[in-house]
């Protein structure tokens, strides 16, 4: 078993109403794992024109707002910092994430508050092009939303494509932290009644045999509209997190799930896992949660 290395967390902040929720989740994740948290604000350039340089007073004012936001979200936490950049927000966020070798980017999204367009243009670009997983935090979260920064009830949506193996493993790595409950959901096309058993067998084959020693696993094969079924299962199980693969096109199941989910959605990308440490996972989880 291998786990994700979430030691460097990036949270872009635009000072909109979505920012506090995203920063609260990013802060909780950082504190739980004693990770470095960086908040980034990008002052957007004006179209294709050469951007006007930020004056020192303006830059200091933005940094002051960043520090205030960080202090409110992570009081008495030392592994935090902020940065201000200027230019195209999506490009600058991606560049900053690569420079700091971010392990996850945490961003706010309208989600169910605006299902017809659950992500703004900046979040859409970041989710599509990031090198690391991107956690989208919906504006309206479920009442049971977990504030610990760890995820005990996870729904992982897969479609049996070759890329699903990475999605499966990244969901497992998060469930490993908490001895959590992990439900794999595969939604098949309507009218294809012969594939259910084969799909279940393929999913079970992709899950390491030893997982049952430390995690509850369910495999659910359904038919119907994929996003609606995934969101329904997440709601019914009071999930802390939905894990899903990166969108392969601008209109996709991933975008539709982001428009329905009331819990954070982790959109997976390539990640840099570390070997599981020799110490007890439960001891490590208890230490991280203090």
pLDDT by residue (tens digit) across 101-113?
A: 999 999 998 876 7
pLDDT in the model for residue 191? 65
Q: What is the per-residue pLDDT across 56-113, written as a single tens digit (0 to 9) for each?
A: 888 899 999 999 999 999 888 999 999 999 999 999 999 999 999 999 999 998 876 7
pLDDT digits (tens, 9 = 90+) for 232-286: 999 999 999 999 998 876 558 888 898 899 999 999 985 444 333 344 444 444 3
Supply 86's token pair.
């200027």
Look up the pTM and report it: 0.86
Q: How far apart are CA 265 and CA 119, in angstroms?
A: 12
Note down the domain range covering 103: 2-289
Q: What is the DSSP string of 34-86?
A: T-EEEEEEEEE--TTSPPPPPPHHHHHHHHHHHHHHHHHHSTT--SEEEEEEE
Mean pLDDT over 36-44 rounds to 94
CATH code for position 214:
3.40.50.12370
What single-letter DSSP state applies at residue 277? P
Specify the pLDDT at position 278: 40
Number of domains making up the chain: 1
Q: Is 57 exposed, middle or buried (0-12, 13-18, 19+ CB in 10 A)?
A: exposed
**Residue spans of beta strands (DSSP E) within 90-172:** 104-109, 134-138, 153-157
The contacts of residue 189 (CB under 8 Å, 6+ apart) are 223
């Amino acid at each position: 078993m291998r786990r994700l290395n979430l030691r460097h967390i990036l949270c872009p902040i635009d000072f909109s109403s979505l920012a506090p929720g995203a920063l609260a989740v990013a802060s909780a994740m950082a504190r739980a794992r004693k990770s470095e948290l960086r908040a980034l604000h990008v002052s957007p350039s004006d179209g294709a024109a050469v951007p006007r340089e930020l004056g020192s007073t303006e830059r200091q004012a933005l940094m002051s707002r960043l520090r205030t936001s960080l202090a409110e979200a992570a009081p008495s936490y030392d592994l935090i910092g902020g940065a201000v950049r200027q230019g195209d927000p999506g490009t600058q966020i991606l560049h900053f994430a690569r420079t700091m070798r971010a392990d996850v980017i945490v961003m706010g999204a309208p989600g169910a508050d605006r299902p017809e367009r659950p992500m703004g243009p900046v979040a859409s670009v970041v989710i599509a092009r990031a090198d690391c997983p991107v956690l989208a935090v919906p504006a309206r979260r479920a009442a049971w939303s977990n504030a610990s920064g760890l995820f005990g009830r996870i729904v992982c949506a897969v479609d049996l494509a070759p890329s699903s193996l990475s999605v499966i493993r990244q969901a497992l790595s998060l469930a490993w932290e908490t001895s959590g409950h992990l439900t794999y959901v595969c939604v098949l096309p309507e009218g294809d009644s012969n594939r259910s058993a084969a799909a279940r067998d393929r999913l079970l084959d992709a899950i390491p045999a030893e997982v049952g020693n430390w995690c509850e696993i369910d495999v659910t094969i359904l038919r119907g509209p994929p996003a609606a079924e995934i969101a329904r299962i997440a709601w019914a199980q009071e999930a802390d997190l939905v894990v899903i693969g990166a969108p392969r096109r601008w209109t996709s199941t991933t975008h539709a799930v982001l428009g329905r989910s009331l819990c954070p959605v982790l959109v997976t990308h390539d990640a840099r896992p570390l070997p599981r440490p020799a110490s007890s996972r439960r001891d490590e989880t208890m230490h991280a949660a203090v």
